[in-house]
Amino acid sequence: MGRWIFWLVLLLIGGAAVSVWRGWLEVPPQWNPWAPLDVKAAPNWLTGYKLMRLRSDPELCTQALSSSDLRVTRQSDSPDAKCPLIGAMRVQGGEVALSSSFLASCPLAVAYAMFEHHTLQPTAHSVYGQKVVRLDHLGSFACRNVYNRESGALSRHASADALDIAGFRLGDGRTVSVLKDWPKQNQDAQFLRQVRDGACEAFSVVLSPDYNAAHRNHFHVDVGRWSVCR
């Protein structure tokens, strides 16, 4: 009897999924796995799946990006370059200003918009009672191997899928630095750890000073196919 109940439940779930996919059953977009991602909608257990889909669907990624406040400029494709970029864009900033614009794949741009809206600003309000007004970074696109090795796998930076975040400036002019403030036991260190943890909801890989000495001065965030949060 138990086995029959299991298969019946599985059949009902499968039928409901097909009905949603076909459009026979209407559900709110945030609970529809095939609906475009809304950057400003509260994340739920489907958000990770929707972010993953953006890697292989440029049109869907463009739709998701349009739901954010991020300002971007489309870049010309460079298919014949050593590190080719297709569909890349220059991110100019959003609610939070940038120390400089950066090149990004569409999935990285969407993940950054999610991070800014759902992690960075809420954490700043929670810890400091004020906004982050600028994010300082060390760059995104770099045509190189992992750790600049002469041989081996290409870095996620080589496809504009990664960003290195170095610190933040608050509304009152105060600055928080990964290099200077991560080792401390104070409010700034608490803020950085909460930001690191929250970033893992938007990016597939987040590497902090806890990972190794190479990341002592920044958070490496990327949208590759691996999943690491440390």
Q: What domains sit in the chain, N to C, each tagged with a CATH number?
A: 71-229 (3.30.1380)
Q: What is the pLDDT along the chain (230 residues), one digit of tens a residue?
A: 555 544 443 443 444 344 444 454 466 888 899 999 999 999 999 999 999 999 999 999 999 999 999 999 999 999 999 999 999 999 999 999 999 999 999 999 999 999 999 999 999 999 999 999 999 999 999 999 999 998 889 999 999 999 999 999 999 999 999 999 999 999 999 999 999 999 999 999 999 999 999 999 999 999 999 999 99
Q: What is the pTM of this model?
A: 0.89
- The count of other CB atoms within 10 Å of the CB of residue 16 is 13
CB 135 within 8 A of CB 117: no
Per-residue pLDDT tens for 93-152?
999 999 999 999 999 999 999 999 999 999 999 999 999 999 999 999 999 999 999 888
Backbone φ, ψ for residue 187 (5° rounding): -60, -40
Lookup result for tokens 């496809």: 159
